[in-house]
Amino acid sequence: MKVKPLYMYGTIFVLLVLAIVFTSSNTNQSLNVSPNSASESGIPNDDVHNGITGMTEGTPSKSNVREDFWIKLESTKSEYENNPNDTLAMKNYAEMLAMSHQAEKAIELYEKILAVDSNRIDILLAEALAYFNEKNYAMAEVVTKKIISNDANNLEAKYNLAVISAAQGKIDEAKKIWKELSEKNPDSEIGKLAAKSLEQISK
C-alpha cells in the first residue's frame, strides 16, 4: 500500500490513508483534508488559501492567497529585519515563510534560532515539518529523532516519526509507533490520533 502525504503544517501532523488531519497543540484547531479537496493539487485547505483554484504547488502569488496573509508576511519580515537577533521575530517570520511554501528560507531561520539554543523543541518540531513539506523525509527524520533523544516523552515527535515512516513507505514501523502510542496513552489526544491512524492505515 502506497501512502501519499498531501499537505500539513503545525507541530502535530497526522498522515491517514485517504486524508490528513492537522491538529496544532498551539492553537487547538483541526483541519480535515480529503483527497478530493484543493489540497490534492497542492493548495492548503486553510484560512489563507480557502476558495483558491488553479494554484500550482509551491507558487503562491498575490492573486491566489488572501491579502491579509501577505500583510502579515510583510509585517513579520519587517519585524525580523528591524530585530535580527530577536529569536521570537525569527520564529514568527519563519512560520510565515513556511506557510508561503518557502521552506528553505524558513529552515535557515530555524537554524539561526537553534544556533542560540539547540534544544528548542518548538523550533525543532517546526523545522522537521518544513523538511517534511519539502519531501526531505531523511532530514525530517533526523530532526524528529533529535527531539525524541532530548525528550523521550514527547508524544508529538513520536507521532510525527510515524508519519515520516509512513511517508517513506515504512508502514510496519509507522504501525508499531502508533500502536505503542495508542496503548500507552489511550486518553490523550495523541493516543487517540494514533489509534485512528493505525486503524486507517491497516485497512
Class of domain 12-51+62-201: mainly alpha
Q: What is the pLDDT of residue 71?
A: 92
Instruction: Tell me what pLDDT residue 4 has.
Output: 34
Residue 153's H or E segment, with its range, is none
Whether 17 and 24 have beta carbons less than 8 Å apart is answered as no
What's the pLDDT at 44?
41
Q: How far is CA 182 from CA 160, 179, 185, 197, in A?
A: 14, 5, 5, 10
Distance CA 190, CA 181 (A): 7
What is the pLDDT, as a whole number, of residue 202?
A: 83
For the chain, the structural domain boundaries read 12-51+62-201
pTM for the model stands at: 0.71
**175, three cell numbers:** 504501525
Distance, CA of 186 to CA of 184 (rounded, Å): 6
Query: In tens digits, what is the pLDDT along the chain, a chain of 203 residues?
Result: 433 332 333 455 544 332 322 233 332 322 222 223 333 333 344 444 443 333 334 445 555 457 888 899 999 999 999 999 999 999 999 999 999 999 999 999 999 999 999 999 999 999 999 999 899 999 999 999 999 999 999 999 999 999 999 989 899 999 999 999 999 999 999 999 999 999 988 87
Residue 184 has, within 13 A of its CA and on its CB side, a CA count of 11
Q: Which three cell numbers stand for residue 68?
A: 491579509
